[in-house]
Structure 1
Amino acid sequence: MSIARIRTWFYGLTKVETLMLMAILSISALLLFRLPEVTHYKGIYFNESLQYLLVTIFGLICVLILRPPTITYFGWPRLKWMGAFTFLIAGAWAGLLISDGFIIQQPLRVKIAGIITILAIGFGEEMMARVLIFGSLQRFGKRFAVIASSVIFGLTHINVYLPEWDPWMAYWHVMSTTGFALFTCALFIATRSYWVVAIFHGLVDWGVVFDTRNTVGGEDYSPGILEDLWWGVENIFIEYGFVGMCLLYILRGRWPKWAIHLAIKWKLVEQADEMVGQKQANSFRDRAARLRKLRFLHRWQ
């Protein structure tokens, strides 16, 4: 079967079939982490870097074959006002996480190997989750693509807890990474750059390699089931998830009413008729009315 036929077959799939295919491709990428280790020397993180490099290559091959619309996101970032604003938030966030008590005490060669590893994590996971999965699902609606790709990204982190199964730790990690995916989707859409989200992702995972902080000792604490469940919900909405949903809401062009009132009060914006003229404003209204009519007719066909 030629690549053109594969691409034609792919774009003929339904929403559920495409979702299932993305799940199969994600599982296939996870199987790369079960390959035998090349070296047993853990200090240089060689095995981890190699695994994520293979994931990146696997995802890139799928992207080149299927050619989702996000294949254009390999270019320079689009730093218009919303892209620049989201980029600054991501940069500040990554900087805070790096400086949050992480002390690198390893030799220089180990430091370099660790930085290569965290960047490999970012490039591998973002190639699969954002460029491939989000891009492939985008034709069914951006909202569906954001939610579905974020959930798949969260579920792929169950792999960390296999074969030793810790259900609560897996649940918290899945919820936390799902919230993180919401923010990276917003960053991906705002900047239209794979490189930005990949580097940001790698820097956020700084503690995966360089976390040398001591844990706080104390008495064992056993939370109840409801508290365990609530912690998972908090992991979605606290930090990344909440900020990501706010940014996604703004990217849809739907500002909160209170923000619009403040902008008008502080004269940050002008009325539409004054900005584009009465004639052009009427044209916009007529176009919107025709669009609503077409949608109504299409709904009842």
Structure 2
Amino acid sequence: MTSLYFDIDENQWPLIYDEKYNVSVGGLEKFHVFDAKKWRNIIQWSMKVAIIAEVPMVALLPNICVQYAYLKPMRLQTGGSVLAGKLALERGWAVNVGGGFHHCSGDRGGGFCPYADITLLIRFLMDSELIQNAMIVDLDAHQGNGYQHDFLGVPEVYIMDMYNRHIYPKDREAKQAIRRKIELGHRVEDLEYMLKLRHNLKAALNEFTPDILVYNAGTDILDSDPLGNLRVSSVGIIKRDEFVFEMCRSRKIPIVMLTSGGYLRKTARIIADSIMNLHSKGLITGQCPVPDED
């Protein structure tokens, strides 16, 4: 056990954040559509980091700069995901205001995802014998191909992924790991999105009862996001999060939420509003009810 894992007071929320989550690469982050201030691979060369981060100019920087300015914040967010998983089991819920690097697997990164935090979170809890199984509900606009490669042929991990089938990464091999796949077209709006989410999440939880639910809550489904190409409103995102938490709360399933993708600066406010909505609805306050004894 390292200093990463610590107890918190009863009056503290399991809401994980550190100012060092934010990325600053000498101003080069401004050339990327990703809002770098919004918030397992060990990369040794700047060119590799540039490919993962999709900022070619990073390749021109000395590796020590890349380590400090880009990889260190990403490692910190990865640790935040693992810590949030542990706290979710203790409190019934936890939110990492960061993480959700779902394009990274244990042996390669991509799509701005340098570390496999979802895989590490689940494997840490399993290796520590804190859980026997897990469900991943990925509602980012993109297919979560990274952890899907890691959990191919692993029945203890149930994957539900709802994403725009026309955009990156279109990873056919990784799709074999998805137990409930919901492929959307371009420009899906609130009504269609919520109808499909409600039907499929209920069905998934009827098929599989997880010890923890890892919720990858990307906000790149937002209308006008340049990469997601969906048309869900800010209110739709807030209602989406509320529904996922309601389902977990009603079934007494611990939930850990990761903020994942979101490529507009206004998504930070939407995430904050969503967290406060969860609190106002009583979904993230107090402890999760104790399951009934058999």
* Structure-1-length-normalised TM-score: 0.26
* Structure-2-length-normalised TM-score: 0.26
The higher radius of gyration belongs to: 1
Structure with bigger helix share is 1
Q: Which has the higher contact order (CA 8 A, sep 6+)?
A: 1
